[in-house]
Structure 1
């Protein structure tokens, strides 16, 4: 428990964080309700995408269930499912294998090579393990489902060639007891990438994308942030540290130019609770720009890290709209003219 002095100091730091970004917040207070008028083709595409996302989440969090080193058979089953899905999309799957708690653990990677600037890499990642005691539907089968559907969409868009290389990576061992430790899958991956000299222009972490609500008061924040953001959990969030604020701004602009789904963004200090709590953190540590896409996790989602984090909790039509917007943003960012970070 924090002392009174520590609480005051924490509030002061939170105030500083808010004031440092308040002038650059991009707000988009629209409803998550589907557009009143929509092209029939887009409606059909969204419905099909929603069904596929739900099928992925039900497989991982329903049929397979809790998946981590304490349930190694389930962890292997999740990896095998990812491998099979990517193989069916036409990818060659690369495994980065290591041991954690004497359990074989795998980061899985597939790649679309860039045409004109293949040495410039965008990494899209999501962790497929779940925390102990939870089936992990939102955390993070939702992120993995989005990862699989983004890779599917870009594979089907070929032979349209992207300028930059895109890597889709499913990370293992993001959850406790591995977070921010050497056995964390994304830390193993980021260290290896730095050692190889990979020119990663941006890493995007997909972390909990499935829960939305238009109810007043459904969204919470760290102290003082609520003065600048909506109180309804009806948006998708884009979050980065200050060093990554330029690509953050570009990604949000690309998302909004192709999607009417509400979006909020924040570039702030890494110590703000939740800002660094995913697979983008190891990339920051290795000097790579990175951001997180999230529904804000425990700031809106009551079943966070519990047995109640089940597939029936998620809003798949809203999630499909988010993923479709991310697909367009990714295509835009991977095709844009060269520029410095």
Structure 2
């Protein structure tokens, strides 16, 4: 039992019985990794976006829906049993604060030098001009659906490493409050991250920003990486050879060892999944720690909350996942505009998003070092969950006849 949902034997009753959460004081969390059907994941992603992330979420132009999205994320984190904090931070506008939503799943290594902390994040604000379905309703939906897949299945284990889930605010540039963008992630990295790492180490951050737009037509993909040095020429030549088809998720890391570990974990899980029509392109970048001024000037490389981790003096590891935003298909017109709306919730786009979500779920599960449930503490928690689930299944069955 995790969050407010009990696990019943018949799928018909999965959402019908409510029960108490495992107390947050327990410093372990059960993780789950049973297979998920693509159509179920796609349907859940669609509903998450339609119901919660399909309207403008700018802090002033869409104030009410901005607050509603923040509160929904907070409640979902709480329902899944995370330790949750709303962390306010100042902006350039003295009348406006930003608010990051932070959820933590402690591992059995929490508080020790053995803890290897992992972070998954996505920003929840929009510009004043868009509903922000792809940018970044898609990343938020993937984040929350990933949690459902991790925490609401029927095969349990106990994670060794602590996981942090963050919905960042004030990512989008705003002349009044955040003129350079990424205010939420920069504040978190500078002021909060070290406290969550504690005596442990940091595996890195996986950042999702606009990950749903899929276009399999020729010439749908523009070149999005350019540098006078020509370092991206091989990558761009490959795009040209493939007729500039926008059928891939783009993954960016530095060449740093820890970044490669994040990339390898995600790529392995992506390649293990079906739906080969949805491709993956990866690009380890020759970026210094921290980046040089010239590197920072390369457009697109630092256009995501991952940059807050790379740019920090400690040069934390990060993996950036994106569909290339305004460089592909319909988003050439709709990026930061009104047409980034629910018309993008097509079957192809949702299945593309579903594959990313499942690959991320499986990668995170492995990086959390999920131990088999028959360890002593894991077994006792799992047995209690299973017994209660069996009892409530019987109650539901008797009530239905």
Q: Same fold (TM over 0.5)?
A: yes
1:327 pairs with 357, 361, 364, which one? 361
Computing the radius of gyration over CA atoms, which structure comes out larger, 1 or 2? 2
Partner of 2:324: 296
Partner of 1:187: 186
Displacement after TM superposition at 1:237 (Å)? 1.3
Q: Would the alpha carbon gap of residues 179 and 54 (structure 1) be closer, same or farther in structure 2, given more than 3 Å must change?
A: farther
Runs of 4+ in 1 over 4 A off after TM superposition: none
1:53 and 2:41 matched: no
Unaligned runs of 5+ in 2: 1-33, 227-232, 288-294, 372-401
Q: Would the alpha carbon gap of residues 318 and 195 (structure 1) be closer, same or farther in structure 2, given more than 3 Å must change?
A: closer
Contact 1:238-1:248 within 8 A present in 2 as well: no
Partner of 1:108: 101
Partner of 2:255: 242
Contact 2:251-2:321 within 8 A present in 1 as well: yes
Unaligned runs of 5+ in 1: 1-40
Displacement after TM superposition at 1:98 (Å)? 2.4
Q: What TM-score, normalized by structure 1, do the two folds share?
A: 0.78
Matches within 5 A, 1:82-97: 82-97=73-88
Contact 1:254-1:333 within 8 A present in 2 as well: no
Displacement after TM superposition at 1:180 (Å)? 4.4
Q: What TM-score, normalized by structure 2, do the two folds share?
A: 0.67
**Alpha-carbon distance in structure 2 between the residues aligned to 1:267 and 1:248:** 11
1:68 pairs with 53, 59, 63, which one? 59
Larger mean Cα displacement after TM superposition, 299-308 or 94-103: 94-103
Displacement after TM superposition at 1:336 (Å)? 8.4
Contact 2:220-2:245 within 8 A present in 1 as well: yes
Matches within 5 A, 1:88-167: 88-100=79-91, 101=93, 102-116=95-109, 119-156=115-152, 159-167=156-164
**Alpha-carbon distance in structure 2 between the residues aligned to 1:316 and 1:179:** 32
Contact 1:131-1:175 within 8 A present in 2 as well: yes
Q: Residue 160 of structure 1 aligns to a residue in which SS?
A: strand
Contact 2:251-2:319 within 8 A present in 1 as well: yes
Q: State the number of aligned residues.
A: 294
Contact 1:97-1:106 within 8 A present in 2 as well: yes
What is the root-mean-square deviation in Å for CA atoms of aligned residues? 2.5
**Alpha-carbon distance in structure 1 between the residues aligned to 2:262 and 2:117:** 16
1:107-136 Cα deviation digits (max 9, x unpaired)? 111122222466321100000000121111
**Alpha-carbon distance in structure 1 between the residues aligned to 2:305 and 2:203:** 16
